[in-house]
């Protein structure tokens, strides 16, 4: 992806910051189903903060396969995977990062993103305090983007990592194969 080289240091630092509660780790380590995650990413603060957490979760689980693509590459991949030329519509107007989940046969299951709902009050407060910032990252100047990214790292390290891990756990649990009925 084009954004990775310029943001490699932030992504690496963010990955090193992530701590997930033991019960969440156990869930991810023992998740029984094969799931393919296609993360659609850009160079927004949300991607720089959330994508390393998604990668951390995927690294914990031997049954999760994570692939990260930019929006254009992901659109082409979706069309190829599904054989449906309209599949790229999943990405239209989507906030990134977007996590698309596929089962073992690469059948689309569900999507998650761009961040846990618990961050919404933090973002609302930050944007209210920074009226010069537009709500769309591509419209913000570099200094505000850097400031928002740093603030988001602090928020995640102060509790939102756990909220995100819990949402990812619920996301996976919702796709988990039904247990056979006990006889």
pLDDT tens track for 64-99: 999 999 988 998 888 888 888 888 887 888 899 999
Instruction: Give the pLDDT score at 139.
Output: 72
Among all chains, which residue has been given the structure tokens 């299951």? 109
Whole-angstrom distance, CA of residue 144 vs CA of residue 135? 11
Single pTM value for the model: 0.88
d(CA 143, CA 150) in angstroms, rounded, equals: 11
- Domain 4-175, CATH: 3.40.30.10
Structure tokens at 13: 């630092």
Those residues whose C-beta lies under 8 Å from the C-beta of residue 161, and which sit 6 or more positions away, are 17, 18, 19, 20, 53
């Amino acid at each position: 992806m084009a954004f990775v080289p310029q943001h490699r240091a932030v992504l690496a630092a963010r990955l090193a910051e992530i701590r997930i509660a033991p019960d969440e780790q156990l869930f991810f380590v023992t998740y029984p189903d094969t799931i393919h995650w296609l993360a659609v990413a850009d160079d927004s603060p949300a991607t720089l903060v959330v994508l390393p957490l998604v990668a951390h979760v995927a690294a914990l689980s031997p049954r999760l396969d994570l692939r990260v693509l930019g929006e254009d590459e992901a659109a082409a991949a979706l069309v190829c995977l599904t054989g449906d030329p309209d599949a790229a519509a999943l990405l239209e107007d989507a906030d990134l990062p977007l996590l698309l989940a596929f089962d073992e046969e690469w059948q689309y299951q569900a999507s998650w993103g761009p961040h846990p709902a618990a961050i919404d009050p933090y973002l609302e407060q930050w944007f209210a305090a920074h009226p010069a910032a537009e709500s769309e990252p591509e419209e913000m100047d570099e200094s505000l983007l850097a400031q928002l990214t740093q603030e988001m790292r602090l928020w995640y390290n102060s509790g939102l990592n756990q909220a995100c891990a819990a949402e990812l756990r619920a996301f996976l649990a919702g796709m988990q194969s039904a247990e056979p009925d006990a006889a």
